[in-house]
Amino acid sequence: MTEISLLEFLKANPAGVDSAGARAAVENPLLMTVLAVAVPLHMMKLRQLSSPQLAAIGRQCAETITSQGDVLQYGGEGCAAAFNALARALAALALTADGGVMFGGAHWCRKPGCRDLDGDHRPRYTDLALPDYREEAS
């Protein structure tokens, strides 16, 4: 069986494109490529924040994304701010949501090496700063 990327699958099966994130991946592969770098960088910056602080960041980013999200798709003034808000919001979600977050077929999670939302995750019921999992990866 030949492996194909999610992007190739979605292009070949447009009926399977049923979410805004999946459509973003098909319509703008450059966005997904740059998010693959930006989200982990934001996760590194946000890793030590508490859940309430991350939630506040998410709300703040949501305002920017809703008011300027169209420039991500079509370009224009404010594109950098909208992109940064999207990457930062995905990072905050990845650090707080059990199982991480998926957008456009890409997955980000606080647990290194996690590949999907149903991966082996410890439940997190605390508002304390997240542990540093980099030591476990060594």
The pLDDT tens digits for 69-113 are 788 777 888 889 999 999 999 999 999 887 888 888 788 888 777
Domain presence at residue 77: yes
Contact 36, 60 (CB under 8 A): no
Taking the alpha carbons at both ends of the chain, their separation in whole angstroms is: 33
Which residues, at least 6 apart from 4, have a Cβ–Cβ distance to it below 8 Å? 12
Domain presence at residue 9: no
Mean pLDDT of the chain: 75
Domain presence at residue 3: no
Domain presence at residue 130: yes
Instruction: List the domain range (segments joined by +) for residue 107.
Output: 19-119+126-137
Number of structural domains (the chain) is 1
Domain presence at residue 8: no
Domain presence at residue 7: no
Contact 111, 96 (CB under 8 A): no
SS3 assignment, position 101: strand
The pLDDT tens digits for 56-81 are 998 889 888 888 878 877 788 888 99
Domain presence at residue 4: no
